[in-house]
Structure 1
Amino acid sequence: MRPVYHPAGADDELRVALGDLQAVRWLSARDILARTGTHWPLRTFRTQVLAVAAARSDVVSAWLAEEPESYDAQVMQARILAERALRAHRQQYSAVAHLEAGARQAALLAAHRAPQDPVPWVCLLALSQIDSRQMRPEHREWSSEPMLPSGPWGLLHNVNQRDPCNREAFHRVLQFLLARKAPRAASLAAVFDFGRWVASWAPVGSPLLLLPVYAQVEQCRQQLAQGRVDPLWRRQWVEEPTLTSTLKAFNEWFLKRDPHSRSVADMSHLASALWISHNFVEAAEVFAAMEPYASREPWGSVAEGPSTLDRGEALFLRARRESLSFARAHGPRVAASH
């Protein structure tokens, strides 16, 4: 099996639009966003993926020049400016403050023009991780959950009002919590607390049930970055509360979610967690649902040794092979379908 890595996953329309954007053509992006309409979860996902591809060119600026009244072009411009600001921040460019200000202004203008759209507020949440010292008041508000530190909770509330349980918004908060100027252990503890708190009330079918899995992967990523891995790290996946969180995500998200709306990244993280915790039959079902697509993460972050794409892919293929082999012998539901 050769895994297919594509940001669009099984979204065929998005794949076409991405190809056109990379060829500096914007008509497909315009059309797909028009068809997406007010399907907010899908709109959030599609604008995010499109922005990552379009941030390398001026294709959306050309769209805006041709259709200056287009709101979709305007919100895509906000998305792109936010993406460029985040890239500059990661690469420690000196122009970060200027790029952040431009992105913030574009997001606020889009939010004013379309008050019902959560995407501009997601852009503002994404930018919050640049403010690691929490200088802006909106980045140091207090949550209703007393265990959580100050953060951009008002921005999250604005997204939640427009699209309850918006996947990207909650993941942006995870990234903010990790980026804060705080001791590494405190940041990681906040990520675990946030993930468990959200998963405790997330509704059936919500991808937010996977947040504890992402927190656990982040722990391993940080340990590998420091050149060390806790020898008990894998054992944590078979202990409480991690095991319960993983099985809850499988039963209440994977089995209950519309298959067409499950992201490859989420399925990949869930498959990894199930495999590491020796729930091979369940892992096999997730691997089968992903095919032929795969994501680089979390495999690149949980593969011990030098971090390389090949090492992560090798671990993915090993986990898939072991899970499917076990399921054929012990899991009739998966064996019959594969």
Structure 2
Amino acid sequence: MASAVVAAQGDAVEAWLQEEPSADALMMRARVRVQQALGAYRAGERGVGVLVDRARSACGEAARNGPADPVPWVCLLALAQLDWPEARRRRPEHRAQPPEYMLPPGPWALLHEADRRDPGSREAWHRMIQALRAYGANVHDVVRWICTWAPEGSPLLLLPLYLHAEHYAKERARGALTPLYWTTDPISHYTGRALEGWFWYADRTEWAPQDLNHLAQALFSTDLYPQAAQVFVAIGPFVTPEPWKYVAESPDLWLEQFERARDRCLRAGAGGTRYAARRR
């Protein structure tokens, strides 16, 4: 939703709709309104409920005008994390029964609609995990389940790396973890699985910079420098703050942390191509 973040700060989409009321414009409006609702919620602003209703209405209109497009359903998944904590006020579609009995209730029907239009959608599953986490579910169990069926080349194989990076940051802030966290068997397993099952199989034109950065960080933190070197080369200038801000000495030093890790790994990888990092 990067373009929606920028558009959410202005009226460009509304102007686009007035000039050209197309399905693409409606999709962008849905993304923009969702981003506005999420931003207001994170900032603790008033009137979030009104923004959520506007966003949900925009999603419905976009879905009607583009029935084969997964975007409205991905947007609804993003909104699902803002559901009411009180059971009596929750939207029923946000607590649907899961496909496996060991999984928690959640917006599974919304995910199904997105997934059948874009099987294995990276964004849809990330939004699903965000919603389940907001509901207090054990998302680690959900991610382990996903990894049992995610095919070779699927970016879903990187989901455990996202959770481990975020968990590390939270626990380290409490003084509960050390860098030895990255040497545990589960993390080593999922890091290797992401490298061998995703990095070597995925369509390189569809690599997401955040996925590459999470894999590079995990490989670096597990001391697999030569393997990480190849991922750093793939990253090129497209460094992302996450996950580097989670493992840096302080969050504002994330770019320096990336550069140190990259340089060390490239030296270990026989001096691979160097790039000047660019913030995204």
TM-score by length of 2: 0.92
1:105 counterpart (33, 39, 57): 57
Correspondent of 2:176 among 230, 243, 246:
230
Instruction: Give unpaired runs (5+ residues) of structure 1.
Output: 1-47, 329-334
Offset of residue 336 of structure 1: 6.8
Q: Structure 2: 5+ residue runs without aligned partners?
A: 275-280
The range that moved more, 266-275 or 108-117, is 108-117
Tell me, yes or no, if the aligned pair for 1:264 and 1:294 is still in contact at 8 Å: yes
Distance 1:203 1:245 in 2: 14
- Aligned with residue 100 of structure 2, among 145, 166, 170: 145
Shift of 1:147: 3.0
Partner residue of 2:13? 60
Residue 158 (structure 1) aligned to one of 101, 113, 130: 113
User: What are the within-5 Å matches in structure 2 for residues 288-299 of structure 1?
Assistant: 288-299=233-244
Could you say which residue in structure 1 is the equivalent of 2:166?
Answer: 218
Instruction: State the SS of the aligned residue for 1:265.
Output: helix
Q: Deviations over 1:43-94 (max 9, x none)?
A: xxxxx222111110000100101112x1111111111000000001111111
5 Å-filtered alignment, 1:1-338, equals 48-68=1-21, 70-131=22-83, 133=85, 135-180=90-135, 182=136, 187=137, 190-224=138-172, 227-232=173-178, 234-304=179-249, 306-308=250-252, 311-328=253-270, 335=271
| Alpha carbons of structure 1 residues 151 and 269: separation in structure 2 relative to 1, 3 Å | same
Q: CA deviation at 1:146?
A: 2.9
Q: What is the identity percentage for the equivalent residue pairs of Structure 1 and Structure 2?
A: 43
Q: TM-score w.r.t. structure 1 length?
A: 0.77
Asked if 2 retains the 8 angstrom alpha-carbon contact of 1:192 and 1:216, the reply is no
The CA deviation string for residues 213-235 of structure 1, in whole angstroms up to 9 with x for no partner, is 011012123225xx314234x32
Instruction: Give the number of aligned pairs.
Output: 271
SS at match of 1:297: helix
Higher relative contact order by CA 8 Å / sep ≥ 6: 1 or 2?
1
Q: Deviations over 1:266-317 (max 9, x none)?
A: 000000000101111110100011112211110112224x432xx1111111
Indicate the RMSD between aligned Cα atoms, in angstroms. 1.6
Return the alpha-carbon distance in structure 1 between the equivalents of residues 177 and 44 of structure 2: 33
Aligned letter for 1:169? A
Give the partner amino acid of 2:234.
Answer: A
Contact 2:266 2:272 in 1 (8 A): no
CA distance in 2 between partners of 1:291 and 1:113 (Å)? 38
